[in-house]
Amino acid sequence: MKDIMKPLTVIGSAAFLGVMLAIGFGLVPFFYLADQGAFEDWFADYFVFFLPAVFITSVPAFIGSITLMRRSPKESQERRRWRNTLLGLVFVYAITTAVSLPLNIAFWSRELTDTAFVTSLGLWTAAHILRIAGTGFAAYSAYQASQLTKQPHA
């Protein structure tokens, strides 16, 4: 199990970044180009299918970063990098919980006025850019940590 944690965490983090990029680059242009009704219909019917990809990529990265941080020697560079991976993931989860999920629920409700819809879409996009940055930071930190060897205890 020890041998699989590093690659699982790095792959999970990178895959989570890929999911965020796919959502951002694949859907945001559609969201802005479609009329409100088409967007709300699509979002209500299909956006939920992205959730399994979010979970099967982020959960291994999250668990792995905690496990590997705890296994790394205190004050080591490796531990700092796994901690940074975890912080990036926590940052993404925090934005998702505080901004993205409430906006998703608002979109699913199909009850937004035109003004509220445009404002919500802008906020959702801004939050998603931050989520891409957070997953990028987590993936990069995980890769960096995986390239370090454990430092012996002093």
pLDDT tens digits for range 64-114: 999 999 999 999 999 999 999 999 999 999 999 999 999 999 999 889 999
DSSP per-residue string spanning 13-78: HHHHHHHHHIIIIIIHHHHHHS-HHHHHHHHHHHGGGGHHHHHHHHHHHHHHHHHHHHHSPTT-HH
Predicted pLDDT at 126: 97
Is residue 153 in a domain? Answer: no
pTM above 0.75, yes or no: yes
Is residue 154 in a domain? Answer: no
Q: How many domains does the chain have?
A: 1
Is residue 61 in a domain? Answer: yes
Is residue 41 in a domain? Answer: yes
Predicted pLDDT at 138: 98
Q: Assign 26 a pLDDT band (cuts: 50, 70, 90).
A: confident
